[in-house]
């Protein structure tokens, strides 16, 4: 049975935080909120504990995990190099939704790095995550707290439904504010490279450290070599087949509904009057609000049991990059 604790504030619910921290130190799995999505954590220095994450998620062992720490000094203890770019980015964006990939020290077990010579590091900003990391006193490896290839969880309920009793302790801190996974930036080779777009936009990074290589998204080119399994097509996907429409989403929805198909529609900024038999969700026109609501909208459509999801595609601008990336991945068959 999973122990579930509702955390209103880390101070008033300190005993639950201490319980979760102790569970981590003993090799158990703890799900916790971050400012992006819920994570499924284990002591990153304990290979046996980390292997339980892979088992619980059904995650391929070729996919490395992000290690979460409470402070910059702790991150530096896990990286064998700490370039100027890391220093600047950490100072500006940590705590926050940015993961830096750096050469790892030997202390980081192979299983965390999926056999690579690097480690992904981040300091999350969510108060519950920070309190947990402080109390645990160990670095915490944590992928998103969902079965592999499913949609990431933005509520404790999503975690419970996806992972069931595989989690020892679940800290319920309410819905996560950001709603999309962190930006992953590789600093381990000569030129910084964006491995996964996220809540921090490439332009914000470039303003600080100069030009970076922007990873092609699935939409632009699916034939590039994959540096990060999060870049694999067909990731972050709902159960229903999803279709992105740059134009005429409504007409497509009407056509499918007419054919008797149960349709869910993520409508954006146009005519979203209800269509009989269609589950319509009017999505926010601000990218930050859209990001915060996207996964819960997809979870909801899965729960309703629609057969097809039609998405009005947001504009092709930097601001919407991470959202478009997840929408395209979710729609790859």
Q: Whose CB is nearest to Mg ion?
A: 144
Instruction: With contacts defined by CB under 5 A, name the span among 12-20, 24-32, 137-145, 312-320 that binds Mg ion.
Output: 137-145
Instruction: With contacts defined by CB under 5 A, name the span among 18-26, 138-146, 238-246, 262-270 that binds Mg ion.
Output: 138-146
- Check binding of 144 to Mg ion (CB under 5 A): yes
For the residues of 262-316, what is the DSSP string, one character each?
-EEEEEESS-----TTEEEEEE-SSHHHHHHHHHHHHHHHHHHT-SEEEEEPPPS
By beta-carbon proximity to ligand TXA, the closer residue of 69 and 310 is 69
Instruction: With contacts defined by CB under 6 A, name the span among 76-84, 164-172, 228-236, 305-313 that binds ligand TXA.
Output: 228-236
Q: Which stretch of DSSP H or E encloses residue 205?
A: helix 202-209
Question: CB–CB of 290/298 below 8 Å?
Answer: no
- Check binding of 43 to Mg ion (CB under 5 A): no
By beta-carbon proximity to Mg ion, the closer residue of 142 and 212 is 142
Interatomic CA distance for residues 13 and 159, integer angstroms: 20
By beta-carbon proximity to ligand TXA, the closer residue of 113 and 242 is 113
Instruction: Restricting to residues 19-58, name those near ligand TXA by CB under 6 A.
Output: 34, 36-37, 39
By beta-carbon proximity to ligand TXA, the closer residue of 39 and 249 is 39
C-alpha distances out from residue 188 to 79, 120, 222, Å: 10, 10, 23
Interatomic CA distance for residues 37 and 64, integer angstroms: 17
Interatomic CA distance for residues 130 and 6, integer angstroms: 16
Question: CB–CB of 204/157 below 8 Å?
Answer: no
Instruction: With contacts defined by CB under 5 A, name the span among 16-24, 109-117, 144-152, 239-247 that binds Mg ion.
Output: 144-152
Residue selected from 144, 155, 217, 279 as contacting ligand TXA according to rule CB under 6 A: 144
C-alpha distances out from residue 312 to 170, 174, 281, Å: 34, 28, 11
Report in angstroms how near the CB of residue 195 gets to ligand TXA at its nearest: 5
Q: Whose CB is nearest to ligand TXA?
A: 230
* Residues 6 or more apart in contact with residue 182 via CB below 8 angstroms: 36, 66, 97, 98, 99, 122, 196, 198, 199, 200
Report in angstroms how near the CB of residue 262 gets to ligand TXA at its nearest: 29
Interatomic CA distance for residues 311 and 268, integer angstroms: 8
- Check binding of 184 to ligand TXA (CB under 6 A): yes
By beta-carbon proximity to ligand TXA, the closer residue of 115 and 274 is 115
**What is the C-alpha R_g of the chain?**
20
Number of shown-chain residues binding Mg ion (CB under 5 A)? 1
Query: Distance from CA of residue 42 to its chain's centroid?
Result: 16
Residues of the shown chain interacting with ligand TXA in the complex, contacts defined by CB under 6 A: 34, 36-37, 39, 63-66, 97, 99, 101, 113, 116, 118-120, 124, 142-144, 181-182, 184, 195-196, 228-230
Binding site for Mg ion (CB under 5 A): 144
């Amino acid at each position: 049975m999973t122990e579930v604790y509702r955390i209103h504030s880390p101070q008033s619910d300190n005993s639950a935080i201490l319980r979760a921290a102790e569970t981590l130190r003993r090799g158990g799995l703890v799900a916790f909120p971050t400012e992006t999505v819920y994570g499924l954590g284990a002591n990153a220095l304990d290979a046996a504990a980390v292997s339980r994450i892979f088992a619980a998620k059904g995650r391929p062992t070729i996919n490395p995990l992000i290690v979460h720490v409470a402070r910059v000094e702790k991150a530096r203890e896990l990286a064998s190099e700490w370039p100027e770019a890391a220093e600047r980015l950490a100072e500006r964006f940590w705590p926050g939704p940015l993961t830096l990939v750096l050469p790892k020290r030997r202390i980081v077990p192979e299983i965390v790095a999926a056999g690579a010579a690097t480690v992904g590091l981040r300091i999350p900003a969510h108060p519950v995550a920070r309190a947990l990391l402080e109390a645990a006193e160990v670095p915490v490896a944590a992928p998103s707290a969902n079965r592999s290839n499913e949609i990431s969880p933005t509520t404790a309920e999503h975690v419970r439904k996806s992972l069931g009793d595989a989690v020892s302790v679940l800290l319920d801190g309410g819905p996560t504010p950001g709603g999309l996974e962190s930006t992953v930036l590789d600093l381990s080779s000569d030129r910084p490279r964006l491995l996964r777009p996220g809540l921090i936009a490439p332009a914000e990074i470039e303003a600080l450290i100069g030009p970076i290589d922007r990873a092609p998204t699935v939409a632009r080119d699916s034939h590039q070599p994959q540096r990060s399994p999060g870049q694999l097509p067909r990731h972050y996907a709902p159960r229903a087949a999803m279709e992105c429409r740059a134009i005429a989403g409504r007409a497509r929805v009407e056509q499918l509904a007419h054919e008797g198909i149960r349709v869910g529609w993520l409508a954006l900024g146009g005519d979203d009057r209800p269509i009989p038999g269609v589950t319509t969700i009017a999505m926010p026109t601000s990218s930050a609000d859209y990001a915060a609501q996207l996964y819960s909208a997809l979870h909801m459509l899965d729960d309703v049991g629609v057969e097809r999801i039609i998405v009005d595609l947001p504009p092709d601008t930097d601001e919407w990059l991470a959202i478009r990336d997840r929408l395209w991945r979710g729609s790859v068959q």
